[in-house]
Amino acid sequence: MLHFSRLAGATLLAAALMAGTASAQTVLRSSDTHPDGYPTVEAVKYFGELVKERTAGRYTVELYHSAQLGEEKDTIEQVRSGVIDLNRVSMAPFNGLIPETTVPSLPYIFRSEDHMHKVIDGAVGDQIAAAFEQVGLVLLAFYDGGARSFYNSKKPINSVADLAGMKFRVIQSDIFVDMVAALGANATPMPYGEVYSAIETGVIDGAENNFPSYDTAKHAEVAKFYSLDEHTMVPEAFVMAKSSWDKLTPEDQAIFKAAAKESVAKQRGLWASKVKESRAKVEAAGSQITTPDKQPFIDAMGPVYEKHVKDDKLKAMVEAIKAAQ
Ligand code: GTR
């Protein structure tokens, strides 16, 4: 009897130890709409490797690419409620939720990629990052998303007038809807995964995105005319559920922050080469690229700024961006 209870005690102890070990290893699920190999996917994988190494395996990142966990709007809700821990999404679908994210999503707010980097690496970037806490998120990193331009299945676009009456899918943000309206065209916000067939079936004439998305989502197959109007340069956001973040010790939070920062440098390098690679690939496959004069596009954006930059806080952010050299 005594022997038996000793054994039972030992078994219980072993079970408790095992449970302890198991709970000390946390798997963090991360979502991305892009396919494996895309620069944002690779950057989050790199972040995961650094975190795993530096926490001696206590934290690992399980990445679900290709929208396996859902389209961006849905995954934003999932990460806000803590159903998933991490998410890499564009900043634009946050526009209705976090006012500060409207500023970097405004058309022609950045003069160049360098200008954009300076702004998001500086005080305005910190202000935008801090605002994510309002909706239960911690912004770990801004990644590059390049410039978005229009493409369509019908004709080359050489001027604002060429866009008249055309129908474009836009990312899910009112800024984009109003921007397209200001250019005399019609916008339909819809999830990324629905764009290919919407163009193919003629529900829309085209969409707008950077070269890597135009290429990897295969939109180039169904919309051959790409016009380099470069209307927005929206940074990508890599976020963590605040509920998951709050479970980390301050030491682990520092590890996560440093890993995210290092993944930014990695992503920027990958991004620059992917843009060139995708552009060359779509051109070789028959895409026709036009380069319209941007000034008339810029001049048409007044109503978008009037509608979306109303309060003093956002006005000050826009001014700070304009002043940044
Ligand atoms: C891409 C961005 C994605 C997604 C997509 C879209 O440029 O990286 O996160 O937002 O655009 O248009 O839906």
Who has greater pLDDT, 16 or 130?
A: 130
For ligand 1, pick from 65, 66, 90, 175 the residue to mutate: most ligand atoms within 8 Å of CB: 90
Mean pLDDT, the chain, whole residue set: 94
pLDDT tens digits for range 253-268: 999 999 999 999 999 9
What integer pLDDT is reported at residue 8 of this predicted model?
47
Residue ranges lining ligand 1, Cβ < 6 Å: 33, 72, 89-90, 145, 171, 192, 209-210, 213, 236
pLDDT tens digits for range 214-228: 999 999 999 999 999
Residue 309 has pLDDT above 60, yes or no: yes
- pTM here is 0.93
What integer pLDDT is reported at residue 9 of this predicted model?
44
What is the rounded average pLDDT of the residues 48-66?
Answer: 98
What integer pLDDT is reported at residue 24 of this predicted model?
81
What integer pLDDT is reported at residue 201 of this predicted model?
98
What is the rounded average pLDDT of the residues 148-153?
Answer: 98
Q: What's the CA gap between 252 and 237, in Å, rounded?
A: 21
DSSP 149-161: EEEESS----SGG
C-alpha of residue 231 to centroid of ligand 1, in Å: 14
Residue 124 has pLDDT above 50, yes or no: yes
C-alpha of residue 117 to centroid of ligand 1, in Å: 19
Q: What's the CA gap between 190 and 170, in Å, rounded?
A: 7
- Closest residue (by CA) to atom 10 of ligand 1? 90
